[in-house]
Amino acid sequence: MAGHELELIGSTESFFDRLLEDIKAATSTVHLLTYIYLDDEIGQRVAAAMIEAASRGLSCRLVVDGLGSAEFLRSKLRTELTEAGVRVIESLPTRLWKALWSRLDVRNHRKIVVIDNMIGWIGSQNIASKSFCPKPRFAPWIDCMVRIKGPAVHDLQELFIEDWCLDTGEQLSELLDEPPMVLPDGATVQVIGSGPNFRNEVLPMIFQASIGAATDELIITTPYFVPDVATSAAIRAAALRGVRTKIVVPARNDSRLVSFASRGQYERLLSAGVEIHEFTGGLLHAKTMTVDREFFLVGSANLDRRSLELNFEVSMIGWDTEFASRLRFLQVEYMEQATQVDPLAWMKQTTPRRLLNNAAGLLSPLL
């Protein structure tokens, strides 16, 4: 759909400042869905804004994943929100007895904000400070978010309502009766929700089709790079046909097993001519892709099997030269804080290290 105003935010502080402004200016509804909600400085600021909005009579709803936000769900902050009138729902509860008929490894990994049916946010940022207190030695965590005005906000609202209904049984379909706003000469985008209930094959198809369409340049950033065989082959094929293909990943990953499995892919990628850049400025958590400075993807999904095939995720793809160029500029900033892997040096790695990386790669369908 055309008619969108897009604002790219590449700083955690700037995103939360902007988000709090939006919540403060809200007039009817504040809907927030996140995988991780921490009871830290940022979590408390967002909670205070939602409590203030609820005190003004707004309908405030918060959905958090049962595993990612387990500590928050037991916290005093959650109680304060509930007592103030903010509806807090645990998505996909992780009670042990539920394992008898449900998949506890399937998680709601989406990050969505919808305010007044008019403003939407999508990207990789959890409700957490960039210092990310559960894993501070990998800090800062680097994310990016996109603020949206236009018809796609209606789609984000629909996804939020579906997730709300999944865990509460409560229908909120009347909120979708309001016609979406269309901005003249705005960007063309599409919001895509994926998950085990429907369209769970859409993300690998989009990645493979987008990579296959590249003719000049392809840049991908992801914190967890453990793609399926077809996506990995598509990336190598792009480089082999002359596309400047660049992948940016963290130099230090919070999961050692994922780090080993990712590096198990390096040799084939480097042999095909793919550039691999290891970000040294923290844990790069942004999930982005640009193709030929025209097409872009931003969302919550990592380039791994869990995001591509299991979790509930949300992504936005689009065709807009101006926004794709802005996103590419952010990707270049990441590369300026990264060390490019030297193919010749990598091929000389020790046999034990190669065996370790390859052994971890055997577990990639589980990561």
Residues 6+ apart with CB under 8 A from 127: 32, 34, 36, 37, 38, 42, 43, 46
**What pLDDT sits at residue 200?**
73
Measured CA to CA in angstroms, residue 340 lies from 276, 278, 331, 344 at distances of 6, 6, 14, 12
| Segments of the chain scoring below 70 in pLDDT | 95-104, 199, 350-367
**What pLDDT sits at residue 360?**
53
Q: Is 31 one of the catalytic residues?
A: no
d(CA 247, CA 276): 5
Residues 103 and 213 in one domain: no
**What pLDDT sits at residue 352?**
67
Torsion, CA 108, CA 191, CA 231, CA 287, rounded to 10: -70
Residues 130 and 227 in one domain: no
Q: End of a domain among 186, 202, 236?
A: 186
**What pLDDT sits at residue 82?**
98
Q: Which of 31, 109, 154, 246 is catalytic?
A: 109
Q: Which of 149, 285, 304, 320 is catalytic?
A: 285
Residue 70 sits in a domain whose CATH number is 3.30.870.10
Residues 169 and 198 in one domain: no
Q: How many domains is the chain partitioned into structurally?
A: 2
Strands laid side by side in the 29-34 sheet:
5-9, 145-149, 119-123, 112-115, 29-34, 59-65, 87-91
Q: Is 154 one of the catalytic residues?
A: no
Q: Which two tokens mark 122?
A: 């999508």
**What pLDDT sits at residue 83?**
98
Residues 139 and 209 in one domain: no
Q: Is 246 one of the catalytic residues?
A: no
Query: pLDDT tens digits for 244-256?
Result: 999 999 999 988 8
Q: Which two tokens mark 168?
A: 């509460």
Residues 144 and 203 in one domain: no
Query: pLDDT tens digits for 183-192?
Result: 988 999 999 9
Half-sphere exposure of 310 (CA within 13 A, CB side): 17
**What pLDDT sits at residue 221?**
98
**What pLDDT sits at residue 297?**
98
**What pLDDT sits at residue 102?**
59
Q: Which of 4, 287, 304, 320 is catalytic?
A: 287
Residues 310 and 172 in one domain: no
**What pLDDT sits at residue 260?**
81
**What pLDDT sits at residue 311?**
93
**What pLDDT sits at residue 367?**
54
Residues 173 and 86 in one domain: yes
**What pLDDT sits at residue 187?**
96
Residues 179 and 215 in one domain: no
d(CA 300, CA 288): 9
Query: pLDDT tens digits for 74-86?
Result: 999 999 999 999 9
Q: End of a domain among 158, 186, 214?
A: 186
Q: End of a domain among 169, 186, 203?
A: 186
Q: Which of 4, 111, 130, 149 is catalytic?
A: 111
Predicted model pTM? 0.94
**What pLDDT sits at residue 326?**
98
Residues 327 and 348 in one domain: yes
Residues 143 and 78 in one domain: yes
Q: Is 277 one of the catalytic residues?
A: no
Residues 17 and 128 in one domain: yes
Domain residues for the domain of 141 are 5-186
Residues 166 and 245 in one domain: no
